[in-house]
A = this chain, B = another copy of it.
Amino acid sequence: MKVKSFSQILRQSIKKSKSQLCVGLDIDLDKMSPKSSDSLNNLKKITKNLIDQTIDNVVAYKLNLAFFEVFGSKGYKWLEDTIKYIDGKKLLIGDGKRGDIGNTTNKYANSLFDHFGFDAITVSPYMGQDSIIPFIKYKNKGIFVLCLTSNPSARDIQLKEASGLSVFRRVISMVRDIDDNKNLGLVIGATKPEQIADIRLEAGDLPFLIPGIGAQGGNLEESLLAGNNENGLAIINVSRSIIYSKDPSFSSRDYNEKINNIIS
């Protein structure tokens, strides 16, 4: 049987779920209101409630590994339980921004794709294509490479001009060069909407994962209009403004409707 590429899987998942919204499950008890017990059992309960409330409105969940890792091995158990609870109903993005070489990258691929069962991951490009290629052979799994991020100090490295091209543009061309399996994508921060349209032109049909909407101040409409088209899809990640809202069910439905209105 022919294995579908991640880009095909993403397209079908968007169609099926009628959603390009990804909810980031960055659960931080310090930000929960009312402040509640920090036992892992309580965290697991909160996670499951959040999933129940949002699952009809999303195409994917993004699991930020730091928020689990802070509890050590027990936190990774919580991650395993969360993945099991979602049970393949939605795409799962493991957001760990891993970036290493050869042997080590193979281990990360085994970990994130085989052990945890993520459908997609985020990767940092600083070590070059060696740090991406070992993931590519998993054709049905997605690899979103950090390109232009939403934080102020993105300028320290990403916006430097390197031999006439800014560093993040070099990342785009490097990613396109090695995308033989149609399973690569880019992480593009929503706080730079003026640049997203240019990036879309250069990136062809690479899917975008766009964080930075909501708490980080990115503009949803501008980002989507610039980053999403029929060939090149964008999924919008929202974390804090949904998971810490009074009514995550309402806010995820509201975000999803807004997204669908903008792109229709």
- Which A positions have Cβ atoms within 8 angstroms of B? 26, 28, 64, 66-67, 69-77, 79-80, 97-105, 107-108, 110-111, 115-116, 124-131, 146, 149-158, 160-163, 167, 170-171, 174
Known: A101-B150, A160-B163, A160-B170. 13 other contacts (CB 8 A): A64-B100, A66-B108, A66-B111, A70-B108, A70-B110, A71-B115, A99-B124, A99-B126, A127-B158, A128-B153, A130-B151, A156-B174, A157-B174
Q: Give A98 Cβ to nearest chain B Cβ, in Å.
A: 7
Q: Which of B26, B80, B97, B115 contacts A99 (CB 8 A)?
A: B97
Copies of this chain, count: 2
The one of B107, B115, B128, B160 in contact with A162, judged by C-beta atoms closer than 8 angstroms, is B160
In contact, A153 and B131 (Cβ under 8 angstroms): yes
Chain B residue nearest to A173 in the complex (CB) = B156
A101 touches B151 (CB 8 A): yes
A66 to B112, CA, bound (A): 10
Report whether A80 and B73 are in contact in the complex, using a CB–CB cutoff of 8 Å.
yes
* CB-CB nearest 4 A-B residue pairs: A128-B153, A128-B156, A160-B162, A73-B76
State the Cβ distance, A31 to closest chain B Cβ, in Å: 9
Instruction: Determine the chain B residues whose CB is within 8 A of the CB of A77 once the complex forms.
Output: 73
Q: Which residues of B contact A74 (CB under 8 A)?
A: 73
Give chain A's interface secondary structure class: helix
Chain B residue with the shortest CB-CB distance to A78: B73
Contacts known (A124-B126, A160-B163); A73 close to B66, Cβ less than 8 A: no
Contact (A73, B73) CB under 8 Å given A127-B149, A128-B158, A153-B128: yes
Whether the pair B69, A149 counts as a contact (CB closer than 8 A) is no
**Bound state CA distance, A27 and B67, in angstroms?**
26
Q: Give the complex CA separation of A108 and B108 in angstroms.
A: 17
Write the chain B residue with the least CB distance to A105.
B66
The CA-CA distance from A158 to B171 in the complex, in Å, is 11
CB A228 to nearest CB in B, in angstroms, measures: 24
Give chain B residues whose Cβ lies under 8 Å from the Cβ of A154.
Answer: 127-128
What is the CB-to-nearest-CB distance from A189 to chain B, in angstroms, rounded to a whole number?
10
